């Protein structure tokens, strides 16, 4: 497609609004629709479009981007699939049950569910996967702003899943006496501990710490502004027509 017509669901939110600006600044796509239950009727900056509460048709849309909440996103995605429109999903809380449903829905168009649009976060996962066979202990620490409603983050869970691919067996936790429940974090795939921090002043950050006899390795990624996610969002919008069915993660477009 020479030029993609794009609609954004959750257009009044922080990620949605930043995405609208990024789409407006890219010559290969045009923002045609902004939907949000907040700020209905407000003009989207640098456009003549008003934010709509709902939409009845996606007839002129090639790709929708969803930054809402999981329950609303699933309804939006059903609508897109029925209309044969591609979907880029940045919404938190999309689980395995949702993914199974999406696989059955997207038969005439494609969908990509992206836990993290930060290219540096994707590279962190890739490097962590490479490092895994060389260490006997591994822990994940993820830090997010205090308004994030889910924990652990989708990125942390995806990181644990990728690390577990290179484990010969689940990690062993020698701790047997917990003074406080949860002190060793939540145990993800491969029995990998994930520790979640929610704090004002942060945006999105993650560390993976590897340890073996006499040495440690820390791989850390920081996103300090939502603009850092936009190259990944635009990559997903441009790449989704060339994928097939339902896809997970920006790495499906990155050869990592």
Per-domain residue ranges for the chain?
Answer: 4-113+226-253, 119-223
Residue 1, pLDDT above cutoff 80: no
Q: Are 232 and 97 in contact (CB under 8 A)?
A: no
- Render pLDDT for 155-183 as a digit per residue (tens, 0 to 9): 899 899 999 999 999 999 999 999 999 99
**Per-residue pLDDT, 20:** 97
**Per-residue pLDDT, 97:** 92
CATH 3.90.226.10 fits 119-223, yes or no: no
- Render pLDDT for 63-102 as a digit per residue (tens, 0 to 9): 999 999 989 999 999 999 999 999 999 988 888 899 999 9
Q: What's the mean per-residue pLDDT of the chain? A: 94
Distances (CA, A) of 166 to 60, 104, 128, 132, 254: 44, 30, 10, 6, 20
**Per-residue pLDDT, 102:** 96
Instruction: Give the residue-averaged pLDDT of 191-209.
Output: 97
Which positions are catalytic? 144, 148
**Per-residue pLDDT, 30:** 96
Q: Which one, of 135, 214, 198, 209, lies nearest residue 167 by Cα?
A: 135
Q: Which one, of 151, 130, 142, lies nearest residue 210 by Cα?
A: 130
Model pTM? 0.82
CATH fold of 4-113+226-253, please?
Rossmann fold (3.40.50)
**Per-residue pLDDT, 95:** 87
Identify the residue whose tokens are 């790449």. 239
């Amino acid at each position: 497609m020479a030029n993609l017509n794009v609609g954004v669901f959750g257009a009044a939110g922080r990620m949605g609004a930043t995405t609208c600006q990024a789409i407006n600044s890219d010559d290969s796509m045009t923002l045609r629709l902004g939907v949000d239950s907040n700020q209905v009727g407000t003009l989207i900056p640098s456009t003549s479009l008003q934010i709509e509460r709902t939409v009845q048709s996606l007839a002129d849309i090639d790709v929708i981007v969803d930054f809402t909440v999981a329950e609303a996103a699933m309804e939006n995605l059903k609508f897109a699939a029925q209309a044969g429109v591609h979907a880029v999903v940045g919404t938190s809380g999309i689980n395995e049950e949702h993914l199974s449903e999406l696989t059955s829905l997207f038969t005439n168009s494609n969908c990509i569910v992206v836990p993290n649009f930060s290219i540096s976060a994707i590279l962190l996962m890739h490097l962590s996967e490479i490092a895994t066979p060389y260490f006997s202990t591994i822990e994940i620490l993820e830090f997010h702003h205090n308004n994030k409603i889910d924990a652990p983050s989708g990125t942390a869970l995806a990181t644990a899943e990728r690390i577990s691919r290179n484990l010969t067996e689940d990690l062993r936790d020698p701790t047997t006496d917990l003074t406080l429940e949860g002190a060793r974090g939540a145990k993800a795939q491969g029995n990998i501990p994930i520790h979640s921090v929610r704090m004002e002043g942060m945006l999105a950050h993650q560390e993976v710490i590897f340890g073996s006899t006499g040495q440690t390795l820390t791989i850390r990624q920081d996103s300090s502004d939502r603009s850092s996610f936009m190259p990944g969002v635009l990559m997903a919008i441009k790449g989704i027509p060339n994928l097939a069915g339902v896809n997970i993660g920006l790495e499906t477009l990155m050869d990592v």
